[in-house]
Chains A and B, each alone.
Chain A
Amino acid sequence: METESLLIKLCLQAATDNLHAVEKWRRQRRSLERLPSHLAESLILRLVRRRLMFPSLLEVFKNTLEKIDLSGQTSVDLEWMAYLGAFPHLQSLNLAGCPKISSSAIWPLAGMKNLKMLNLSRCPKITDSGIKHLLSIPTLEELSISQTGVTSEGVLLLRSLKNLTMLDLGGLSVTDLALCSLQVLTKLQYLDLWGSEISNKGASVLGMFPNLIFLNLAWTKVSKLPVLSSVECLNMSNCTTHSIFEGHGDKVWLRKLILTGATIEDISEALTYVDTSSLSLLDVSNSSLQEFCFLSCLVALEYLDLSSCPFIDEFVQIITYIGAKLKFLNLSNTRVTSAGVSVLVGRVPKLETILLSNTPTDDFAISHLSAMPSLKVINLTGTNVKGQIQQLGFGQDAVQSLAELQNLSCLEMLYLENTQLRDASLSPISKLHELNHLHLGGPLTDISLCLFSSIQNLIHLSLHDAVLTGPGLNSFKPPSNLKVLDLSGCWLLTKDDLLLFCRRYPLIELKHELYHFVPSEQSISKHLSPSGVATKTGPSKKKERTLLVSPTMLKKDEFIDQRLKYSREELLALQHSSVSLVAFDNGNLIPELQ
Chain B
Amino acid sequence: MKKEDTVKLISAEGFEFIIDKKAAMVSQTIRNMLTSPGSFSETEHGRVSFPEISTTILEKICQYFHWSLQYASGKETEFHIEPELTLELMMAANYLHT
Residue numbers of A with Cβ under 8 A of B are: 5-8, 10-12, 14-15, 17, 20-22, 24-25, 28, 31-32, 34-36, 39, 43, 529-532
Contact = CB atoms under 8 A, between A and B. Distances in A.
Interface in B73-98: 76-84, 86-91, 93-94, 97-98
Interface string B48-80: 000000000000000010001001000011111
A36 B64 CA distance: 21
Chain B interface bracket (under 10, 10 to 19, 20 to 34, 35 or more): 20 to 34
Q: Binding site of A, secondary structure by majority: helix, strand, loop or mixed? A: helix
Query: Quick one: which of A5, A22, A36 has the most chain B CB within 10 A?
Result: A5
A39 B82 contact: no
B83 A529 contact: no
20 contacts: A5-B98, A7-B64, A7-B90, A8-B93, A10-B79, A11-B90, A12-B90, A14-B81, A17-B83, A20-B83, A21-B86, A24-B82, A25-B87, A31-B87, A31-B88, A36-B94, A39-B90, A39-B91, A531-B78, A532-B77
Contacts of B83: 14-15, 17, 20-22, 24-25
A14 B86 contact: yes
A332 to B, nearest CB: 45
Contacts of B79: 10, 529
B84 A39 contact: no
A7 B84 contact: no
A397 B75 CA distance: 52
Interface string B1-32: 00000000000000000000000000000000
Given A14-B83, A530-B78, 13 more contacts: A7-B98, A14-B86, A15-B86, A15-B87, A24-B86, A25-B83, A25-B86, A25-B87, A32-B87, A34-B91, A35-B87, A529-B78, A529-B79
A5 B93 contact: yes
Interface of B: 64, 68, 71, 76-84, 86-91, 93-94, 97-98
Nearest to B84: A24
Contacts of B71: 529
Which residue, B71, B90, B91, has most C-beta atoms of chain A within 10 A?
B90
Contacts of A12: 86, 90
Given A14-B86, A28-B84, A31-B87, A6 B68 contact: yes
Nearest to B95: A36
Contacts of A530: 76-78
A307 B91 CA distance: 50
A21 B85 CA distance: 10
Contact of A28 (B82, B87, B97, B98): B87
A226 B76 CA distance: 65
A529 B86 CA distance: 17
Nearest to B87: A31
A14 B71 CA distance: 18
Contacts of A21: 83, 86
Nearest to B65: A7
Contacts of A22: 83
A197 B3 CA distance: 77
